[in-house]
Every structure is written in C-alpha cells, then in structure tokens.
Amino acid sequence: MRSLVSDAGLKDVELDSAGTGGWHVGSPPDARATAAASARGIGLDGSARQVMAEDFARFDLIVAMDASNRRDLLRLAPDEGARGKVRLLREFDRSGRSDAEGLDVPDPYYGAPGGFDEVLDLIHAACEGLLEEIRAARPA
C-alpha cells in the first residue's frame, strides 16, 4: 500500500501496520515475506507493534486481514463510531477473486513455499481497490 500511495503522489495519506496480538512486538517483518516483497521491488521495514485503542482516534480506517482479526478489532474499538472504521482488506478487492475465495487473506506463516507470493497478489489487488476508494473520497 505504501508503494501504491507513493506512486500516486498522495503525500498526506498516513499508513501504519499493527497486529491484534502481542507475540511479535518489536520484531522485524518475516524474512520470507521480506524476500517475496523484495522480489517485487517492495521494501518491508519497521517492527511489529500491537493495535492500541488510540489507533481508532488516530486513523480513519482500520483494516483487518481476516475475520478473526476483524472480531478482535471490533472488541477493542471503544465505541460504535470506531467499530465502523473496521473493514476487511479484501472488501476493497475489485479483481473479482474475493467473491470466489472469501474475504480472508490467508496466513502464509505455516503454509507451503510460495504462500507469501500468493498473499502478496491478494493484498496488492485489494490495495489497488483501497487506493481507488481513497482517491474517490478526496475533494476534487
């Protein structure tokens, strides 16, 4: 998403990444994910952090990768307005694949080799749709 936003020249879009669990806090991105992204010219950096209640005030949209994370985020949201900010990433996928395969981004962590590439394909398609929605919501 950062690459797409940068390529679109949108300098005022703030992006962040956080998990619903704390087990990887402070860790860098998974080496397999980093390698798969790097092969596409995408850099992954930073370290893991856990979602905080303050994120619901800071961000206009909170994106979940799967239904389980969405449920966790809805429980963490402080009020109905905050719950309305929670969406599944693949809701933005306009490629048509999400209808046939469901809306969860599969977790490639324990999967077969190549799973990270498959997940990057899914994420990229959804991020393109999200970028279109961001652009459409901006004043002309």
pLDDT tens for the chain, 140 residues: list them: 998 999 999 989 999 999 898 777 878 888 888 888 899 988 888 888 999 999 999 999 999 999 999 999 999 999 999 999 999 999 999 886 655 568 999 888 888 778 899 999 999 999 999 999 999 988 86
Q: Tokens 């962590």 identify what position?
A: 109
Please tell me the predicted confidence (pLDDT) of residue 100: 54
Query: Does pTM top 0.85 for this prediction?
Result: yes
Dihedral over Cα of 123, 80, 54, 137: its sign: positive
C-alpha span between 30 and 116 (Å, rounded): 10
Question: Would you say 122 and 93 are in contact if contact means Cβ atoms under 8 Å apart?
Answer: yes
